Amino acid sequence: MISRRNVLTGLGASLLSSPFPGVSRADTAPRKLALPPLMDATKSGAFALNAQHGRVNFLGQSESQTWGFNQPFLGPTLRVATSAEARADVTNRLDEQISVHWHGLVIPGDVDGGPHQTIAPGENWSPVLPIDQPAATVWYHTHTHGETARQVYNGLAGVLQLSDGLDDDRGLPSTYGVDDLTLVLQDRRFDQRGRMDYNLSMPDRMMGFMGDTMLVNGQVGATAVVPKGIVRLRLLNGSNARIYTLMMSDDRPLQLVGTDTGLLDRPITLQDLTLAPGERYELLVDFGDGGSVSLLSGQNTNMGMMGGGMMGGRQPSGPPFEVLPFEVDPTVVARITTLPDDLGGSRPDMDPVGAHKRNVTLDMAMGPGMMMRGKGNRFSISGQAFDMSRIDMSVARGEMERWTISADMMMHPFHVHGVAFQVLSENGRPPKAQNTGWKDTILINGQADILMKFDRPASESLPYMFHCHILEHEDGGMMGQFAVI
Ligand SMILES: [Cu+2]
Range name among 20-29, 284-293, 359-368 with the lowest pLDDT average: 20-29
CA of 151 to the centre of ligand 1 (A): 18
- Within a domain: residue 338? no
Query: Is the domain of 472 the same as that of 453?
Result: yes
User: What are 84-112's pLDDT values in tens digits?
Assistant: 999 999 999 999 999 999 999 999 999 99
Res 25 pLDDT > 50: no
pLDDT in tens, 269-293: 999 999 999 999 999 999 999 999 9
Strands 356-364 and 262-270, by their bridges, are unpaired
Tens of pLDDT, residue by residue over 43-87, are 999 999 999 999 999 999 999 999 999 999 999 999 999 999 999
**Could you tell me the residue range of the domain that residue 445 belongs to?**
356-484
The yes-or-no verdict on residue 12 having pLDDT over 50 is no
Q: Which residues pair with 133 in a beta bridge?
A: none
Instruction: Give residue 483's pLDDT band: very low, low, confident or very high (50, 70, 90).
Output: very high
Q: How far is the CA of 34 from the centre of ligand 1 (A)?
A: 31
Residues 437, 392 within the same domain? yes
Interval between CA 444 and ligand 1 midpoint (Å): 9
Does residue 11 register a pLDDT over 50?
A: no
Torsional sign, CA 196, 198, 204, 207: positive
Domains contained in the chain, number: 3
Interval between CA 469 and ligand 1 midpoint (Å): 6
Ligand 1 centroid to Cα of residue 169, in Å, is 40
Q: How far is the CA of 448 from the centre of ligand 1 (A)?
A: 15
Q: Does the residue 56 lie in any domain?
A: yes
Q: What is the mean pLDDT of residues 457-471?
A: 98
Please give the distance, rounded to the nearest whole angstrom, from the Cα atom of residue 28 to the centre of ligand 1: 33
Provide mean pLDDT across the span 252-278: 98
Does residue 8 form part of some domain? Answer: yes
The residue among 129, 94, 91, 98 whose CA lies nearest residue 115 is 98
Q: How far does the centroid of ligand 1 lie from the alpha carbon of residue 413, in Å? A: 6
pLDDT of 3 > 80? The answer is no
CA of 470 to the centre of ligand 1 (A): 5
CA 411 to centroid of ligand 1, rounded, Å: 7
- The reported pLDDT for the residue numbered 416 is 98
Q: How far is the centre of ligand 1, averaged over its atoms, from the C-alpha of 301 (Å)?
A: 14
The CATH number of the domain holding residue 54 is 2.60.40.420
Q: Is residue 337 part of a domain?
A: no
The pLDDT tens digits of the residues spanning 121-134 come to 999 999 999 999 99
Boundary (domain end) residue, out of 130, 165, 200: 165
Cα(473) to ligand 1 centroid in Å equals 5
205 and 294 in a single domain? The answer is: yes
175 & 319 share domain: yes
Q: How confident is the model at residue 366 (pLDDT cuts 50, 70, 90)?
A: low
243 alpha carbon – ligand 1 mean position (Å): 11
How remote is the CA of residue 188 from the centroid of ligand 1, in Å?
19
* Cα(476) to centroid(ligand 1), Å: 9
Q: What is the pLDDT of residue 65?
A: 98
At 373 the pLDDT is 47
Q: Are 192 and 137 contained in the same domain?
A: no
Going from the Cα of 451 to the center of ligand 1, the distance in angstroms, rounded, reads 21
Q: Is the pLDDT confidence value at 305 over 80?
A: no
Mean pLDDT of 255-259: 98
User: End of a domain among 165, 196, 213?
Assistant: 165
Nearest to 32 by CA among 291, 226, 180, 224: 224
- Distance CA(181)–CA(224), nearest Å, equals 9
Burial class of 298 by CB neighbour count within 10 A (0 to 12, 13 to 18, 19+):
middle
375 has a pLDDT exceeding 50: no
Task: Using the 3D structure, point to which of 118, 140, 165 is the last residue of a domain.
Answer: 165
- Structural domain includes residue 236: yes
Span from the CA of 307 to the centroid of ligand 1 (angstroms):
15
Q: What is the mean pLDDT of residues 121-150?
A: 98
Q: State in Å: Cα 416 to ligand 1 middle.
A: 13
Ramachandran assignment for 206, one of left (phi > 0), alpha (psi -120 to 50 degrees), beta (any other): alpha
DSSP three-state, residue 472: helix
Residue 344 domain-assigned?
no
The fraction of the chain above a pLDDT of 70, given in percent, is 88
The pair phi, psi for residue 288, each rounded to 5°, is -65, -20
CA of 226 to the centre of ligand 1 (A): 35
Q: With a cut of 90, say whether residue 314 has pLDDT above it.
A: no
Distance 64 CA to ligand 1 centre (A): 28
pLDDT confidence bin for 306, thresholds 50/70/90? very low
Identify whether residues 454 and 363 lie together within a single domain. Answer: yes
Beta strands 77-81 and 38-40 are: parallel
Are residues 369 and 302 both part of a single domain?
no
pLDDT of residue 22 exceeding 90, the answer is no
| Together in a domain, 264 and 290 | yes
Q: 304: CA distance to ligand 1 center in Å?
A: 12
Per-residue pLDDT at 303: 62
For residue 474, how far is its CA from the centre of ligand 1 (angstroms)? 7
Nearest to 234 by CA among 302, 290, 148, 163: 163
339 domain-assigned: no
Q: Does residue 404 register a pLDDT over 70? A: yes
pLDDT score of 326 more than 60: yes
At 473, phi and psi to the nearest 5? -75, -45
Q: What is the pLDDT of residues 328-354, one digit of tens each?
A: 999 998 999 999 999 999 999 999 999
Q: Is the pLDDT of residue 249 over 70?
A: yes
- Cα(56) to centroid of ligand 1, in Å? 30
State in Å: Cα 379 to ligand 1 middle.
Answer: 8
CA 468 / ligand 1 centre spacing (Å): 5
- Collapse the DSSP code of 12 into the 3-class scheme (helix H, G, I; strand E, B; otherwise coil) and give the result: helix
198 and 306 share a domain?
yes
Determine the pLDDT at residue 302: 80
Residues 360 and 480 in one domain: yes
What's residue 378's pLDDT?
81
Is the confidence at residue 435, as pLDDT, over 60? yes
Please compute the mean of the pLDDT values over residues 440-451 and round it to a whole number: 97
Average pLDDT, the chain: 90
CA of 78 to the centre of ligand 1 (A): 28
Please check whether residues 387 and 442 belong to one and the same domain: yes
Residue 156's pLDDT is 98
CA of 278 to the centre of ligand 1 (A): 12
Residues 128 and 220 placed together within one structural domain of the fold = no
Residue of 374 and 225 predicted with greater confidence: 225
- Quick check: 304 pLDDT over 50? no
* Per-residue pLDDT at 436: 98
Q: What is the pLDDT of residue 301?
A: 73
Average pLDDT in the 19-32 region?
51
Identify whether 309 is part of a domain.
yes
Residue 15, pLDDT above cutoff 90 = no
